[in-house]
């Protein structure tokens, strides 16, 4: 008899503790600062070079093209959360480095993302972090 009574008390206490925990809402958390600033697509850098746009529209993953002393390699593509067709690209300089007159592809290559809006305008996704790297070749891609 004592055993049954003891089990009922344990069950009752467990139910009360469980229901009490579910009865109060979790604390509301408010962010004190933004992780990144809000950026609209209109503020991205638009690619205006017709030659580059033609290559981006007609080439496939893994293909390469050269433009103004920069080799552009198209890597994987995907559809962004906003529904834009996006392409990861690698930029490698084709000019000799002045100190030893050889190509130094390892220290100067960059990986960037370009996306196409529904109206076929291409734009460059800005870097999230400030890595203090000069934007290799993209000044020429946007002209």
The model's pTM is 0.56
Q: What is the pLDDT of residue 9?
A: 81
pLDDT of residue 130: 47
- Cβ atoms 46, 138 nearer than 8 A: no
What does the alpha-carbon distance between residue 27 and residue 67 come to, in Å, rounded to a whole number?
A: 55
The residues, any chain, with a CB within 8 Å of residue 55's CB and separated by 6 or more, are 65, 67, 72
Query: What are the extents of the domains in the chain?
Result: 41-141
Token look-up 């993302």 returns: 113
Confidence of residue 143 (pLDDT cuts 50, 70, 90): very low
Q: Given this model, what pLDDT does residue 87 score? A: 93
- What's the pLDDT tens digit per position in 7-56? 788 877 777 776 666 566 778 877 676 655 544 555 578 888 888 888 88
Neighbours of 47 (CB within 10 A): 20
DSSP state string for 76-131: EEEE-TTS-EEEEEEEEE-SPPTTTSS--HHHH-EEEEEEE-TTS-EEEPPPSS--
Task: Evaluate if residue 115 carries a pLDDT over 70.
Answer: yes
What average pLDDT is seen over the chain? 74
The pLDDT of residue 104: 47
Dump pLDDT digits (tens) for 73-105: 999 999 988 888 999 999 888 876 555 544 544
Please enumerate in sequence order all residues whose Cβ is within 8 A of that of 103, keeping only pairs 6 or more positions apart, or say none: 93, 94, 95, 96, 97
Query: pLDDT at position 108, please?
Result: 75
Strongest mean pLDDT among 123-127, 132-136, 137-141: 123-127
Provide Rg for the chain, Cα atoms.
28
């Amino acid at each position: 008899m004592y055993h049954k009574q003891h089990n009922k008390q344990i069950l009752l206490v467990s139910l009360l503790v469980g229901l009490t925990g579910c009865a109060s809402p979790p604390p509301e958390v408010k962010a004190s600062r933004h992780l990144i600033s809000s950026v609209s697509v209109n503020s991205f850098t638009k690619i205006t070079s017709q030659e580059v746009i033609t290559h981006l529209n007609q080439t496939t993953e893994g293909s390469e093209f050269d433009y103004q002393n920069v080799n552009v390699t198209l890597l994987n593509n995907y559809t962004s959360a906003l529904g834009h067709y996006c392409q990861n690209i690698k930029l490698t300089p084709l000019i000799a480095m002045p100190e030893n007159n050889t190509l130094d592809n390892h220290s100067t290559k960059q990986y960037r993302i370009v996306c196409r809006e529904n109206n076929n305008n291409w734009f460059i996704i800005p870097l999230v972090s400030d890595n203090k790297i000069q934007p290799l070749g993209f000044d020429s891609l946007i002209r």
